Amino acid sequence: MLARKISFGKWRAKPYLAADAIRADAVTGCLRTRDDTLSFWSCEDTPDDLDQVFLALATGSSVSRFETMDIVLIAEADLDDAGVVTEANEGDTAVEDLKARHIDLVYLDLDKLAALARIIAARVRVLHARRTAGQLRRLVEDAVVVGRLRPELLNPELGDRLRARGTPD
C-alpha cells in the first residue's frame, strides 16, 4: 500500500456536485505536484505501520506544529493499472529509518493525475486513517524516548514545542 497525506474534508461530496464528482479543491489542494511528482509513503494497512507513516509525516522539515492529520491508502496495483510510474527516493523526515519508505509518483500529466484523483476518491471512504495532534505528539515523543529521533533534527519550532513539554533531548 501507499499512503499520502490529504485534507479529508476536501474529498467529501458537496450538494451542488454530482454524487461521484471529485471536488476541484481536493485535486488542487491535496494533489499539488512539484516537477510532475507527488510524494507517498510505503506501508501496510495495520495500525502500527500506519503510525510509522504518521511519524514520518509529522517529522518532516516543514512541520512546525502538531495538527490532526489524515492519510489515504491506495494499492500499488491501482497505480500500475493507471500507468503511474513510481520511484523510490529518500523521504523528508527526521526519522532516519523511515526515509527509505518514501515513494514518489513521477512523470505525472493531467491524465495520470485525474486517474489518481479517481483512485483516491474511491479509496478515501474505506482506506482513510486519522491521527489527532495529541496522538502525533505521542508518536514523536515515543520516537525520541527510544532513540529513533533526535529532536535537533526537527523543524526548530517543533523541537521547541517538544522541549517546552519536557521531552528529553
Residue 169 belongs to a domain = no
From residue 13, give the alpha-carbon distance in Å to each of 9, 30, 122. Answer: 9, 15, 12
Closest to 24 measured CA to CA, from 126, 114, 115:
114
User: Do the strands 38-42 and 2-6 form a parallel or antiparallel pair, or are they unpaired?
Assistant: antiparallel
pLDDT digit string (tens) for 90-116? 999 999 999 999 999 999 999 999 999
Q: What is the pLDDT of residues 33-48, one digit of tens each?
A: 999 999 999 999 999 9
Look at residue 119 and tell me if it is in a domain.
yes
Please report whether residue 154 resides in a domain: yes
In a domain, 142, yes or no: yes
Q: Is residue 150 part of a domain?
A: yes
Q: What is the rounded distance in angstroms from the CA atom of residue 152 to the CA atom of residue 160?
A: 9
CA distance 103 to 42: 7
pLDDT band at residue 60 using 50, 70 and 90 as cut-offs? very high
Q: What is the DSSP letter of 119?
A: H
Q: What is the pLDDT of residue 33?
A: 97
Q: Residue 141 belongs to what domain range?
A: 2-164
Q: How many domains does the chain have?
A: 1
